[in-house]
Amino acid sequence: MAAMAGDTGDSPHGWSALALGALGVVYGDLGTSPLYTMKEAFGSHGLPVDELHVLGVLSLVFWTLMLVVSIKYAGYIMRADNKGEGGIMALTALAQRGVRGRPWVHWVVTMLGLFGAALFFGDGVITPAISVLSAVEGVRVAAPQLDHFIVPITVLILLGLFWIQKRGSGRVGAVFGPIMALWFVSIALLGVLPIIEHPHVLKALSPHFALRFFLEVGWPAFFALSAVVLCITGAEALYADMGHFGKKPIRMTWFGFVMPALVLNYFGQGALLLSDGNAVENPFFLLAPASLLLPFIALATLATVIASQSVISGAYSVAREAIQLGFLPRMQVRHTSTERIGQIYLPWVNRLLLVLTLAVVLGFRSSSNLAAAYGIAVVGTMTIDAVLVMIVFRRLWQWGPVRVAMVGLVFLTVDLAFLTANADKVEHGGWFPLVLGALMFTVMTTWRRGRELVMVKIRQAGLALEPFIASIVAHPPLRVPGTAVFLTSNAEGVPNALLHNLKHNKVLHERNLILTVETVDTPTVEPDECVVVRPLGDEFFSVTLRFGFAEDMDVPQALAVIKGCGAALDMMDTTFFLSRESIVALDRSGMALWRDKLYAFLQRNALPATAFFRIPGNRLIELGTQVEI
């Protein structure tokens, strides 16, 4: 993907096409934040609508966008790409690489990355709910008597949004960019007129007004940060979607188009509040002329659907990366485009997000009630990003400790200030992303630990491969024509499927491949590194296939081109053997019994390895093995 972006960007037309695409994918969430940020700062927090408070909040919003989006993400974190790819899982893999040989630190880094990914799934639930709700709530401004229809309309829109996921975003994605371009132009124009009428609002561009706000208002100003942080929801998308568009188009779009539009709208809302304190009810929609209010509500709804689509697609990508890195059970991954490999659809993830999102809408019922939950999910992920990128800067890039400390101090001071300000929101809805994150974290760590325990049991019960081959040479069984491929996770042991086949059928194939599939900590693998073949003697070969965590594991396709195993493999003359484990949960020291049972449940419902590796069913023999953990 990164290479594609670089190739396309060689011409001005290529850069403009990527920049337009970035508008529809990268900036949907960030671009719809004006819908609720100022409303929450003055509505839910009850701040007085006067010059001190309005200019103070505006100054905080502006400098938050500068420090977090422009400097932290666009300036620093986007440098930490993993072969052009970004996102929490790619950053975790980079940080893990930097602490190899230090088991305890490696474990801490892994746990941080997993909890960041878990919070991202929470973001994937809350973003569609709060975004669509905040847009539909514009109906309250246009027609207050329709207030009771807001939640049902939101539910219908979300049902439609999740229903179209299986059809892919390829067809509708072509119009995402132009719609978001219209959105940003519209919100910028709406902000210009109030600013012209009250130009003194631009004084808030100075950080002096943010400092004065803290000094004169005190603790209420600090806790107002829990609303101000909403202006940067979606900032991580700059990094997460870097592999699709490249760094330059994303940065160019932010500095040249998106940020100016957002600042104009925020300052326009501030100017409106200074001229009419009653506009605090919904300053965003009250910027629009009455005659254009309904079309603007429709445009806002489209923009929030696009923002939600982007986050849902991001959840699919994170889930697939977690699956291939061994932190989630195997699930079905469908490709929805024949042209772009990044467009995928995971049915189970889609169903789970739909159920949780509808539950959130029906439970919280308004964007204001959801704002507290949203802030904690956003800041939690951003804080983990800051910690992990500091490890990359120090351990991989060999930055000096003073330089790392200075950059880290700025990042973490901002992140921890926002996190602390949101702490009092835990009982008012902030508990939701924490509980959801804890549940996802438990699932991921249980699956990973369970797999480790199963591998230990299999190795303990297995036979060493080389002595086994020596015994085959000494006492040769009947050999039948063709090639047998035995999938195993232990390249040094005899696969259970091979032992069972020899024991019950009393035959071996002419050629036998002991196949191990590995996932590396980079999104893709270089062609000369993806296959390792080691002859073992007597027509036995150890074959290791390596895939990146963003690649599809198509085993037959990879085997069709391998060299070093004698004649080329004919898939019609090849049989795949796989040992499928049946897990029995016992109360032993490896994990708590409830985690053993959770792992057994996940393993029973995981997609079979044969389907995940795209092995044709008519070329497969599965043999069962019972494993106690």
More confident residue, 345 or 228: 228
According to the model, what pLDDT value does residue 489 have? 82
The secondary structure of 257-313, three-state, reads HHHHHHHHHHHHHHHHHHHCHHHHHCHHHHCCCHHHHHHHHHHHHHHHHHHHHHHHH
Examine the pLDDT at 490 and tell me if it is beyond 50: yes
Backbone angles phi, psi at 464, to 5 degrees: -65, 140
CATH of domain 2-429: 1.20.1740
According to the model, what pLDDT value does residue 6 have? 38
Distance, in Å, from the CA atom of 336 to the CA atom of 355, rounded to the nearest integer, reads 22
Identify the DSSP state of 235.
Answer: T
Distance, in Å, from the CA atom of 39 to the CA atom of 231, rounded to the nearest integer, reads 11
Q: Are 92 and 321 in contact (CB under 8 A)?
A: no
According to the model, what pLDDT value does residue 1 have? 34
Distance, in Å, from the CA atom of 454 to the CA atom of 446, rounded to the nearest integer, reads 12
Reported confidence tier of residue 339, pLDDT bands at 50, 70, 90: low
Tokens representing 9 are 């960007």
Nearest to 614 by CA among 570, 552, 545: 552
Mean pLDDT on 166-193: 81
According to the model, what pLDDT value does residue 151 have? 92
CB crowding 562-601: b at 16 or more within 10 Å, else e = beebeeebeeeebbbbbbebebebeeeebbeeebbebbbe
Residue 448 CA, chain-centre distance (Å), reads 19
According to the model, what pLDDT value does residue 628 have? 66
Nearest to 300 by CA among 390, 180, 383, 206: 180
Mean pLDDT on 422-426: 80
Distance, in Å, from the CA atom of 202 to the CA atom of 271, rounded to the nearest integer, reads 9
Cα angle 242-77-330, degrees, rounded to a multiple of 5:
55
Least confident segment among 98-102, 180-184, 239-243, 272-276:
239-243
Q: CA of 521: how far to CAs of 331, 343, 360, 527, 589, in Å?
A: 20, 21, 35, 16, 30
Nearest to 306 by CA among 30, 19, 17: 30
One-letter amino acid of 117: A
User: pTM (2 decimals)?
Assistant: 0.84
As a whole number, the mean pLDDT across the chain is 85
Per residue in 552-564, pLDDT (tens digit) is 888 888 888 787 7
Examine the pLDDT at 8 and tell me if it is beyond 50: no
Residue 610 CA, chain-centre distance (Å), reads 26
Reported confidence tier of residue 407, pLDDT bands at 50, 70, 90: very high
According to the model, what pLDDT value does residue 337 have? 59
Nearest to 367 by CA among 151, 63, 160: 151
* Domains of the chain, residue spans: 2-429, 463-628
Q: CA of 389: how far to CAs of 86, 87, 95, 112, 393, in Å?
A: 11, 11, 7, 12, 6
Residue 376 CA, chain-centre distance (Å), reads 16
- Longest alpha-carbon distance in the chain: 95
Examine the pLDDT at 519 and tell me if it is beyond 90: no
Given the DSSP bridges, would you call strands 540-547 and 620-628 parallel, antiparallel or unpaired?
unpaired
Reported confidence tier of residue 10, pLDDT bands at 50, 70, 90: very low
Per residue in 305-315, pLDDT (tens digit) is 888 887 888 88
Distance, in Å, from the CA atom of 109 to the CA atom of 121, rounded to the nearest integer, reads 19
Reported confidence tier of residue 207, pLDDT bands at 50, 70, 90: very high
Distance, in Å, from the CA atom of 215 to the CA atom of 301, rounded to the nearest integer, reads 39
Give the strand order in the sheet containing 620-628. Answer: 531-537, 540-547, 507-519, 478-487, 574-584, 620-628
Place of tokens 């004084």: 203
Per residue in 246-301, pLDDT (tens digit) is 788 889 899 999 999 999 999 999 999 999 888 888 899 999 998 889 999 999 99
Least confident segment among 122-131, 268-277, 333-342:
333-342
Examine the pLDDT at 479 and tell me if it is beyond 80: yes
Nearest to 337 by CA among 582, 166, 559, 525: 166
Q: Are 133 and 154 in contact (CB under 8 A)?
A: yes
Question: Where does residue 380 rank: exposed (0-12), middle (13-18), buried (19+ CB within 10 A)?
Answer: buried
Mean pLDDT on 17-28: 78
Stretch (H or E) spanning 580: strand 574-584
